[in-house]
A and B are shown apart, each in its own frame.
Chain A
Amino acid sequence: DVKVTQSSRYLVKRTGEKVFLECVQDMDHENMFWYRQDPGLGLRLIYFSYDVKMKEKGDIPEGYSVSREKKERFSLILESASTNQTSMYLCASTAANTGELFFGEGSRLTVL
């Protein structure tokens, strides 16, 4: 069974803290994505990556960075968390040119 695993389902952090969200996929997919989902705004793309060490800004990259040191792992980093980054974060992967995204279960982050 194919799987995308996100390291934490729920996190509570304080303003200014550094936050790491980890995502691992076992399908040997080239593409990996980080989205955030907020009520009324849908899924918005933060960053994506089509290969190891490659990264591209999505539609809302401000306040975030990413790391892809290995094909199976794509990490999202909040250097200094702010309250407006409270959200559900969804990681996904897909094989090139297929459009079928496989999602992790999501990480709900609350920044106080």
Chain B
Amino acid sequence: RKEVEQDPGPFNVPEGATVAFNCTYSNSASQSFFWYRQDCRKEPKLLMSVYSSGNEDGRFTAQLNRASQYISLLIRDSKLSDSATYLCVVNVWKKSSGDKLTFGTGTRLAVRP
């Protein structure tokens, strides 16, 4: 089983739609969680961290469910500029080896006019 799994999509939605992505992780020792965004032919960039209490940044809401080992990202009022690949990232920190950040394969979002 992959350490971090995402539905690859693509999710094809109209402007203004609400879209949700899920991500599951297999290592229960994972401590911190993130969503990254990657535009075509560019490097990934941090979108937001994910906390157990849930967190919101404008139109974006991230949730963590430790019991079920999944993370979600909700995008409200989609814009054309939201079209990108969204990557789920899980961190396992060990004193002996530091941070190990593992990526999911990404979910592609295409927002149409």
Contact = CB atoms under 8 A, between A and B. Distances in A.
Interface of A: 30-31, 33, 35, 40-45, 48-51, 54, 56, 58-59, 90, 94, 96-97, 99-101, 103-106
Interface in B20-54: 32-34, 36, 43-46, 49
Contacts of B103: 35, 42-45
Where chain B touches its partner, the secondary structure class is: strand
A99 B32 contact: yes
A90 B43 contact: yes
B24 to A, nearest CB: 14
A99 B8 contact: no
A105 B38 CA distance: 12
B100 interface: yes
B98 interface: yes
Contacts of B89: 99, 101
A94 B45 CA distance: 12
Given A42-B87, A42-B106, A49-B98, 12 more contacts: A40-B105, A45-B103, A48-B99, A58-B100, A90-B44, A94-B99, A99-B49, A100-B46, A101-B44, A101-B46, A101-B89, A103-B45
